[in-house]
Amino acid sequence: MTMERRNFLKLLGAGAAATATVGMAGCASSPAMANGRKVVVIGGGYGGTIAAKYIRMMDATIEVTLIERNDHYVSCPFSNLYLGGIMPDLSSLTIKYDKLAANHGINVVQAEVTGIDAAGHTVKTSKGDFKYDRLVVSPGVEFRTDEIKGYDDQIMPHAWKAGPQTMLLRKQLEAMKPGGTVVLSIPLAPFRCPPGPYERTSMIAMYLKQHKPGSKIIVLDANPDIVSKKGLFLKGWKKHYDGLIDYRPAKKVTEVDNKNMSVLIEGLEEVKGDVINIIPPQKAGHIAHVAGLVGPDKKWCPVNPMTFESTLQKDIHVIGDSSIAGAMPKSGYSANSEAKVCAANIVAVMNGRELTEMSGVNTCYSFLSAKEAVSVTGVYTVDKVKNAIVPVPGSVGVSPDLSELEAVYAQSWVKNILTEMSS
């Protein structure tokens, strides 16, 4: 991708967010009109924090409650760098909610959501019930562990939700003997990304090369081929880890043997490892299933592409990894972009205004080494004929080559987006 094109995409993405914000800036109703108007947001990650923040920024007369089970959030994007040894800990990827609450008047509640009464417009939690006029659900993903017989994430961690699982996998890598074998299992797409599995392959390979001489990593990919940035990953692996990565496509893990530290591919082929990182297939977060927001596929939540309102439950919006957002990937940047569009249109609806046109943006960075990264970027809109989110023609592109400059961009991106989420 040329520098001119990259700058165009960045400006277009920034312009989309600005349009959503500026377009609704004058829409706040009087306090009298707004009396009792309430929005509840479930989930304090890339989507939920931004939805709560932008609703308050666009109309401070709307009462917003953000419900999150934890008192902090650890970013999945960039957590692979901790596994590679680039980051000493996860502190730089961890945010809290006190500044977000204080700066924007958001009622942040640390509680477990136990149910949603869609008919009664009520969220049920471990700390009581919360009424809403509009509800935003951003619960991330859960794992379809029933599809992998014998799976135990304390023995073969997934590390696909950053935090304790990530630390467990790193400890296992540190404890592995030199000359050992790491097995990484990738599910069929779609899945949450980042943390990307091919970036993770690179980071683990880098760690093995530096700290575990004679070791190797076997990658069992259920997909028929590398699903993102294939050419760049193959080039990076050849350049930095030649002979260290054994990539095997179309190898779906269906069973594990915890005692013998091995996995079975379709119940037929056994692969042993000293450390085994199983990334299970995924589905919408648990509360989405409880609330009847999941479609016939029993995995993801269908939504209106303009407003992200559920097509199954009125006045409930689903954003981020759990939603079916057309061509937009299940990434942190997508969730951020979807949250802004969703927030703008919730404010529009609650004020009797016209909807803002959907314009989304996404960039996913992947590190190949400590200093080199690559990215894929796209801008998205709604095809009104198809009633689906589609890429803007010519907007989707990948880096032309491995780049140290991309790594600098990536570090700036994660600092900026985590700051936006937490303040």
154-177 pLDDT, tens digit per residue, is 999 999 999 999 999 999 999 999
Q: In the predicted model, what is the mean pLDDT of residues 20-29?
A: 33
Distances (CA, A) of 108 to 28, 100, 136, 306, 350: 22, 9, 14, 27, 21
Residue 416: pLDDT over 90: yes
Architecture of domain 3-142+282-418: 3-Layer(bba) Sandwich (3.50)
Look at residue 36 in the predicted model and tell me its pLDDT: 66
- For 9, counting Cβ atoms within 10 Å of its Cβ (0-12 exposed, 13-18 middle, 19+ buried), the class is buried
Residue 21: pLDDT over 70: no
Amino acid at the residue 210: Q
Q: How far apart are the first and last CA of the chain?
A: 33
**Residue 148 CB contacts under 8 Å (≥ 6 apart), including other chains:** 253, 254, 255, 256, 278, 280
Q: pLDDT higher for 300 or 31?
A: 300
**Whole-prediction pTM:** 0.91
* Mean pLDDT rounded to a whole number for the chain: 92
Look at residue 20 in the predicted model and tell me its pLDDT: 37
Residue 396: pLDDT over 60: yes
Pairing of strands 134-137, 38-42: parallel
Q: Quickly state the pLDDT bin for 25 (edges 50, 70, 90).
A: very low
**Residue 278 CB contacts under 8 Å (≥ 6 apart), including other chains:** 148, 151, 153, 156, 157, 158, 185, 253, 256, 263
Look at residue 11 in the predicted model and tell me its pLDDT: 36
Asked if omega into 195 is within 30° of 0 (cis), the reply is yes
3-state secondary structure of 167: helix
Look at residue 35 in the predicted model and tell me its pLDDT: 53
3-state secondary structure of 340: helix
Residue 83: pLDDT over 80: yes
Task: Report the distance separating Cα 282 and Cα 298, nearest Å.
Answer: 11
pLDDT digits (tens, 9 = 90+) for 123-163: 999 999 999 999 999 999 999 999 999 999 999 999 999 99
Look at residue 166 in the predicted model and tell me its pLDDT: 98
What dihedral angle (degrees, nearest 10) is formed by the CA atoms of 203, 92, 377, 299?
Answer: 80
CATH number belonging to the domain at 145-278, selected among 3.40.50.261, 3.30.565.10, 3.50.50.60, 3.90.800.10? 3.50.50.60
Residue 10: pLDDT over 80: no
Phi and psi at 22, nearest 5°, equal -65, -35
Pairing of strands 181-186, 216-221: parallel
Q: Could you tell me the residue ranges of all domains in the chain?
A: 3-142+282-418, 145-278
- Asked if residues 205 and 237 have their Cβ atoms less than 8 Å apart, the reply is yes
Distances (CA, A) of 105 to 79, 99, 100: 30, 10, 8
3-state secondary structure of 369: coil
What tokens appear for 394 in the block? 């010519």
Task: Report the distance separating Cα 46 and Cα 76, nearest Å.
Answer: 10
pLDDT digits (tens, 9 = 90+) for 372-392: 999 999 999 999 999 999 999
Residue 414: pLDDT over 60: yes
Residue 98: pLDDT over 80: yes
Residue 109: pLDDT over 90: yes
Look at residue 16 in the predicted model and tell me its pLDDT: 41
Residue with tokens 């009622």: 107
Task: Report the distance separating Cα 195 and Cα 365, nearest Å.
Answer: 10
pLDDT digits (tens, 9 = 90+) for 255-298: 999 999 999 999 899 999 999 999 999 999 999 999 999 999 99
pLDDT digits (tens, 9 = 90+) for 348-357: 999 999 999 9
Q: In the predicted model, what is the mean pLDDT of residues 308-313?
A: 98
The two domains 3-142+282-418 and 145-278 share their CATH topology (first three levels equal): yes
